[in-house]
Amino acid sequence: MRKCNKCLKEKPDSKFLTKKKKTCKKCEYRVKQRILRYLVHNRRLSPIEKLANRLGYMGSAFIMLSPHLLPGPIGIKTYILGGLLSLPQVLVAKQWNLVFVNLNVAIAYTILFFK
């Protein structure tokens, strides 16, 4: 029998993880959960972020759809639309490399469309 240094209760040795531990499994789990919950930051998205995320999902869907429609002008239009619709999401997230990739897609297919 040992005494836990957190709950101060006398407990059998089987309730401790190892022989050197002074905290019982139950108390150790509670402390670990508190620390992990403290590390995770729950935050609510602003309305701009919500709108940008939804537009980004729609833009990604258009980009995924476009290769199947590509031989015709509809595929080119969906690529342009997908590139433009996914821009707000990456702008709000400040992922500048993806901003340039999406702009490149939109500009390249706009040039292709008008040729």
The whole-number mean pLDDT for each consecutive block of 10 residues of the chain, a chain of 115 residues, reads: 89 87 83 75 86 92 88 87 89 88 86 86
In degrees and rounded to multiples of 5, residue 84 shows phi and psi of -75, -35
| Element containing residue 2 per DSSP (H, E) | strand 2-3
**pLDDT (0 to 100) of residue 43:** 77
**pLDDT (0 to 100) of residue 52:** 93
- Hey, which residues does 3 pair with through a beta bridge? 10
**pLDDT (0 to 100) of residue 10:** 92
**pLDDT (0 to 100) of residue 105:** 83
Prediction pTM value: 0.57
**pLDDT (0 to 100) of residue 58:** 94
**pLDDT (0 to 100) of residue 49:** 92
